[in-house]
């Protein structure tokens, strides 16, 4: 997959994308991520990319021209799926990330300041938010989106890692995990995980996942048609 990111702050992405699993995915050519500096496309003398909002109000608005020209240069003759990261967007979910991972090409546009000139929406396919809070810009949300969807691209996770049993994959939060030692400073791993009885371990994990979800995020149980009052046995 190729992901192009249009941003005023390309330097923010360097260390995040070169490390760990995303770095490995790029080295093995499963993933190609390129950042593009929107400012380089500003056609005014001072390379200005923002201006005061028509009608008044606080803050600055990102201008349409540098974004339109940057988008045109990046897309060329192709029609990649184009996403604007904004707190006004639809909430990103694991399900949506999985769908996006099936695209060959994505273009992410990072908004900044008070927002983006509304006319930019004519060259955008989808607006996404990573949560009901406002960040200083779309750069961190773009990193979150890339990280989240990359895990669904075949080959990105090692064979030992899997998205099958983790939180949000089946509508439940994940069961508790433990590793060695079995006893640590008086804290013991639940006995059931130590005896190798796989059917019992599976049942225990299902019950734990249900309990954790009921306690932390009861609304998730409703969404997936599970009864929060009666954890499955
Ligand atoms: N830009 C600022 N806040 C954001 C959010 N919560 N999601 C996506 N983009 C944003």
Residue nearest to ligand 1 atom 4, measured at CA: 87
Check residue 201 and give its pLDDT.
98
From the alpha carbon of 130, which atom of ligand 1 is closest?
A: 7
The b-or-e profile of 169-204 (16+ CB within 10 A means b, else e) is eebbbbbeeeeeeeeeeeeebeeebeeeeeeebeeb
Ligand 1 contact, 126 CB (< 6 A)? no
CA–CA dist 150, 125 (Å, integer): 20
CB contact at 8 A, 154 and 203: no
Residue nearest to ligand 1 atom 2, measured at CA: 135
Ligand 1 contact, 66 CB (< 6 A)? no
Statement: the pTM of the whole predicted model exceeds 0.85: yes
Top mutation candidate among 138, 143, 146, 148 for ligand 1, by most atoms within 8 Å of CB: 138
85 C-alpha to ligand 1 centroid (Å)? 6
Ligand 1 contact, 131 CB (< 6 A)? yes
Q: Count of alpha carbons within 13 Å of 153, Cβ hemisphere only?
A: 25
CB contact at 8 A, 120 and 142: no
Ligand 1 contact, 142 CB (< 6 A)? no
Check residue 233 and give its pLDDT.
40
Nearest to 109 by CA among 38, 9, 5, 36: 5
CA–CA dist 22, 129 (Å, integer): 21
DSSP string, 42-80: --STT---EEPPTT--SS-EE-HHHHHHHHHHHHTT---
Ligand 1 contact, 7 CB (< 6 A)? no
Q: What is the pLDDT of residues 134-182, one digit of tens each?
A: 999 999 999 999 999 999 999 899 765 677 777 887 889 999 999 999 9
Q: Is the dihedral of CA 99, 1, 23, 87 positive or negative?
A: negative
Residue nearest to ligand 1 atom 5, measured at CA: 87
From the alpha carbon of 133, which atom of ligand 1 is closest?
A: 6
Please list the pLDDT of the chain residue by residue as tens digits (233 residues).
Answer: 999 999 999 999 999 999 889 999 999 999 999 999 999 999 999 999 999 999 999 999 999 999 999 999 999 999 999 999 999 999 999 999 999 999 999 999 999 878 999 999 999 999 999 999 999 999 999 999 999 999 999 989 976 567 777 788 788 999 999 999 999 999 999 999 999 999 999 999 999 999 999 999 999 997 655 554 444 44
From the alpha carbon of 111, which atom of ligand 1 is closest?
A: 1
Contacts of 180 (CB under 8 A, 6+ apart): none
Top mutation candidate among 97, 115, 131, 139 for ligand 1, by most atoms within 8 Å of CB: 131
Ligand 1 contact, 57 CB (< 6 A)? no
Bridge-based pairing of strands 2-7 and 32-37 is: parallel
Ligand 1 contact, 84 CB (< 6 A)? no
């Amino acid at each position: 997959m190729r992901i192009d990111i249009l941003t005023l702050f390309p330097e923010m992405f360097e260390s995040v994308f070169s490390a760990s699993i995303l770095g490995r995915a790029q080295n093995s050519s499963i993933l190609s991520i390129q950042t593009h500096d929107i400012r380089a496309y500003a056609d005014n003398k001072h390379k200005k990319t923002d201006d005061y909002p028509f009608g008044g109000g606080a803050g600055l608005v990102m201008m349409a021209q540098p974004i339109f020209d940057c988008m045109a240069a990046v897309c060329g003759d192709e029609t990649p799926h184009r996403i604007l990261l904004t707190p006004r967007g639809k909430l990103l979910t694991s399900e949506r990330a999985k769908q996006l991972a099936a695209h060959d090409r994505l273009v992410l546009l990072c908004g900044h300041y008070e927002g983006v000139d509304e006319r930019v929406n004519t060259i955008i396919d989808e607006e996404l938010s990573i949560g009901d809070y406002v960040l200083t810009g779309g750069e961190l949300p773009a990193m979150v989106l890339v990280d989240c969807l990359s895990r669904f691209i075949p080959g990105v996770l090692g064979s030992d890692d899997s998205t099958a049993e983790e939180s949000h994959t089946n509508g439940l939060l994940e069961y508790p995990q433990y590793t060695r030692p079995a006893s640590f400073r008086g804290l013991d791993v639940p006995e059931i995980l130590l005896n190798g009885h796989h059917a019992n371990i599976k049942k225990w994990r299902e019950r734990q996942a249900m309990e954790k979800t009921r306690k932390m995020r009861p609304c998730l149980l409703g969404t997936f048609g599970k009864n929060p009052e009666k954890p499955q046995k």
